[in-house]
Structure 1
Amino acid sequence: MILKSIYEYLQQAGRVEESALLKHFHLRQAGLDALIAPLMRSGKVQKSVHQRGEQLPPIIYYSTTDKQQIPALTIV
């Protein structure tokens, strides 16, 4: 199942940039959003957004959590 594959990939790789996930699993943005949403709701995966100023687009990272936690979005 693709959800399990995404979760295992994140566990092995640690913190992964969103663009790397899109390339690795040959997905589009909307597809990744739909697939990762259940993992985030369950507290297994967290999303971090790194703001790089007004001129550059933000970088989005995904990572697994050691323990299940309340879903959170971190903006740096």
Structure 2
Amino acid sequence: MADVTINQGVTIAEGCMIGAKALVVEDTEPHGMYLNMASPGGAVRARRYKDLPVGKVDAHVGRVPAPVQLSVVN
């Protein structure tokens, strides 16, 4: 289970990949990859992969599980 939270009114663009346990609070860009990042205040929200600090991304490489099929639950 991905356990992703998407705020009401947020649009997920075509081809987006959302990381497990992500909190998506704003619209995404097409074909973007969004992962969680903890803010200084302790809140966690999804940030676009290309905007993440290189060291933090490198720390997760090799720990990414195989893709899973997600379904929309209404």
TM-score (norm 2): 0.27
Higher relative contact order (CA 8 A, sep 6+): 1
Q: Which has the higher helix share?
A: 1
TM-score (norm 1): 0.27
